Structure 1
Amino acid sequence: MGLDAGQREWLSPRVTHLVRPGWDVDFPRRERMPESFKAQVARPFLPRHFPGYETYLWIDADAWLQQWRAVDIYVAAAGRDRLAITPEIDRAYKRHYKRPKLLGMTLAWKNYRHAFGWRIADRLGRNPMVNCGAFALHREAPHWQAWSRVMTAVLQRTQFFFVEQTALNYVIFAERLPVNFLPAYCNWAPGDAAPAFDPERRLFVEPYAPYEPIGIMHLAGRDQKERVFRLQQLGGGAVETSLRYSDSRALCGIDAEPAMAASRVKPGSSRRDAAGGN
């Protein structure tokens, strides 16, 4: 989704499958939804679009991979029957140090209310939001069917940006399907806490000891994609940089991306930004 013909041509020989999803679910007012909404609705149907694989690992197009070990962690944590996924919780995240929302009306609570009503919002809204921008799930895990069922039911009533994530959170906390919650460095949200930078290892790391390397950097939200971050460096000093993939490669001393230059991708479009940064 979001790639022009030239970008699809560049990508095609570098991947096994290149799929443009249609609408996997019929729901009211579908014709009014943006084309990008198909990518959200398609998420519970990945085995349908990419059949024949053992485990499915999803990483959002606004996230990029710094260390391959994050992939290994996700796949191992998923096993055959668990959802491997990262909640939006960390000791560094600023949201945990703010004054509580009036009546507990967090974004998670509002999403539950929008999707399921007040009663379920009051019951589940106190739980942390689990971010489906990165997850791993075995093809035979029961979550696929449960996720698609819940999301389809919600879409008959309402359509909103976080619909697939809210449906998955419902499956986790209301239907209690098995899950492995991973640490925040497996899906780091710099909008909640800027990482630190280790100039010796040339890696982005957690801002607090023991300074675990960030596995996946997730620039969720338009502001994070355009923002210049001021990062504390281990050993002293600070550095200012964008955390977009191309700028991060430059800071880490990695050669520029060879073919699909950033200038060829329009701002706000979707593409696969991933690199093994071992």
Structure 2
Amino acid sequence: MSITKNVLVVTGFDSTHLDLAEDMAASFRRAYQDRYPLAAIVFGGCRMPPSLASRFDAVVEVPPDQGFDGVQGYFLAYTGLKARLPELFPGYASYCWVDADCWFQGSESLPRIMAGVPNAELCIHPEFDVHYLRYPTPSNRTLHIYRKNEAAHLNAMPLSMPMVNAGVIAMAADSRIWALWARELALLRERHDRGESVYFSDQIPLHKIVYLNQVRLLPLRAVDNWQTYACLPLVHRASKSLRVPTPPHELIGIVHLAGKMKDAAVSLDGETLTLRYRDMARFLGW
């Protein structure tokens, strides 16, 4: 199998999500072996067990920051680290970020995602799919964060446009989006340091950038970042896989356990269990 050296896949986690990171890395290696290099941003004083550390080709360790409080949002947004991948891991033509609460089912997603990079400034999944019809746009969470961070300019914000999910993104190293994103996150940090009350989200600033800067976007399909909070997958016993609930029941390539879905117990095919990779592996007999 050929090694794709011009693409780096990156994730990030702290000790709170070590088990999710283990699942993400295990599913990645099961799907791709060593075809793609895998890197990690490890923060908050997290110490990886050797079994997990061996899964990664590169690691950046970020020490705890006493100025950060988890109630203010996400550490990766507070530090702007997700917007600095070419700086943290230089030397690659393109980068794909995958949240640690995602896991891979099969090897189809990454080639599809990366195929869009040469002709787009950003490859990302809009949370807008026929299977998400019961999930409101904008969500209450989106409205809350925009009202907190952009109250003075709320009418100019793209509130009516579908949210873009920053859990799986891909960009060329020279995409202008890195700098635009980093600047938005830096402005939030500056306001925080001046004593303003802000919420550190990397996704909301990216949503703002996408729609206010006419970004040349490649929308990723739902199968490449399946939002389990919006729609549960279908269990397909014959193929031992999770699939899209409607015909033609395509294979889901990346399962995303965003928010409460990290630990949620769900009813699937007559059984109650979580959608974590380790549970699905046992359930489906991989």
TM-score range, shorter chain: 0.7 to 0.9
Letter in 1 for 2:97: W
- CA offset at residue 51 of structure 1? 0.9
- 1:241 aligned to which of 262, 270, 273: 273
Aligned CA distance change for structure 1 residues 251 and 105 (closer, same or farther; 3 Å):
closer
Alignment pair present for 1:171 and 2:209: yes
Corresponding position: 1:17 with 2:17: no
> In the superposition, relative to structure 1, how do residues 92 and 122 fare at CA in structure 2: closer, same or farther (>3 Å)?
same
How high is the TM-score relative to the length of structure 2?
0.74
Asked whether the equivalents of residues 203 and 213 of structure 1 are also in contact (C-alpha less than 8 Å), the reply is yes
Residue aligning to 1:258: none
Distance apart, 1:112 and its partner CA: 2.2
- Choose from 30, 44, 48 the match for 2:87: 48
Matches within 5 A, 1:171-250: 171-221=209-259, 223-231=260-268, 238-250=270-282
CA contact (8 A) 2:97 2:170 kept: yes
Determine which of 161, 165, 186 is the counterpart of 1:127: 161
Aligned ranges for residues 21-40 of structure 1 at < 5 Å?
21=62, 31-34=67-70, 37-40=74-77
CA distance in 1, matches of 2:177, 2:208: 11
Identity of aligned residues (%): 26
Distance 2:224 2:172 in 1: 18
Distance change in 2, residues 1:194/1:161 (3 Å): farther
CA-based RMSD of the aligned residues comes to: 2.6
| TM-score (ref. length: structure 1) | 0.76
Q: Which structure would you say has the larger RCO, counting Cα contacts within 8 Å and 6 or more residues apart?
A: 1
Amino acid corresponding to residue 143 of structure 1 in structure 2 = I
Distance in 2 of aligned mates of 1:143 and 1:83:
7
Distance 1:166 1:153 in 2: 13
Could you give the per-residue CA deviations for residues 59-118 of structure 1, whole angstroms, max 9, x where no partner exists? Answer: 11111111221111111112264211101122122534x6x8xxx774323322222225
Cα deviation, residue 49, structure 1: 1.1
Q: Which runs of 5+ in 2 are unaligned?
A: 1-12, 16-45
Q: Does structure 1 residue 75 correspond to structure 2 residue 114?
A: yes
Q: Among 96, 109, 124, which residue is 1:57 paired with?
A: 96
Are the counterparts in 2 of residues 106 and 125 from structure 1 also a CA contact under 8 Å?
Answer: no
Q: Which amino acid letter does the alignment assign opposite residue 258 of structure 2?
A: A
- 2:266–2:273 contact (8 Å) kept in structure 1: yes
Structure with greater strand percent: 2
CA distance in 2, matches of 1:185, 1:5: 32
- Are the aligned partners of 1:230 and 1:239 in contact in 2 as well (CA < 8 Å)? yes
Cα 1:22–1:174 change in 2 (3 A) is farther
Please give the alpha-carbon distance, in whole angstroms, between the structure 2 residues aligned to 1:173 and 1:179: 10
- Please name the residue that 2:9 is paired with: none
- Kindly provide the amino acid, as one letter, of the partner of residue 245 in structure 2: P
